[in-house]
Structure 1
Amino acid sequence: MEIINKEADVGNNYSGQERRKFKRVKINLVVVYHPDRPLDVVVMQGSKEERATMLDISQGGMSILAKTNIPISTNVWIKFTLMSSDKDHADFYGNMEVKGQVRYGIAEPGGRYRLGISFLGLNEKDSINISSFVESLEKGKKS
């Protein structure tokens, strides 16, 4: 595994929980992102949006698997929907459009890049929704 750029020492055996301020859960969701422009501007101007897979999330940030490497410290706008379900019901936590900053990038097999992104200026509603989502997945793992 070739490290393209990094700010934090994430190592090849990624866990990172001991350094984290917030509890993080592993997930596999599609996100849409683009560097340093608000999403509504991109949509209105017809600019291309990139798709990626969210690998994990916490109140502090997320990691994604992307087709493009983005340099450290680049601001990105990310759009995603959080919901969880089990055999009895589904919970919707909201559509979110958040600003983040790339903290590290690691080359992965298949020409993709694992990008660590910290959230910037996350509003209270989104913070609560992400926290509730993480808690619900943690409870589900213990059941």
Structure 2
Amino acid sequence: MADEVPSYLDLDRENHPAVLAGRRSRDAVQARDKQAWLANFAADAVVEDPVGPSMFDEEGVGHRGVEGLSAFWDKTIGTTEKLDFVFDKEIICGNEVAYVGKIVTHIAGHISEANGVFTYKADSNGDLVALRAFWEVGETVSSLRPA
């Protein structure tokens, strides 16, 4: 029909699979629920947080599969007191969503801020297949201050 609007021009922002998967991921992090966070991922998913080499991933290849994601949680999320997700902009493309903003980390009585772009990619089942975070390690470390 000539009057039909293509799906890419009429996004269902609230029910988009990547938006929902990203929300589940953040909710599990805030609830400190490792099992719910892991269950949100496809079996062969990858987490790159941050993208490239870092203190969490010396080779910069990402964390893959259930064992890799579990180890990532233990090294990162599990060591924090709380994480706040402060996103200013949401950009949906295909089966992915990108957020521009920051993640505020509360750890050992201190706070740091990772300013960046955070992406979530969902598969056809609505499971996360990729979580990628673009933030600069040096800038984030230099933001560390007492809470």
Question: TM over 0.5: same fold?
Answer: no
Scaled by the length of structure 2, the TM-score of the pair is 0.30
- Normalized per residue, the structure richer in strand is 1
Larger Rg: 2
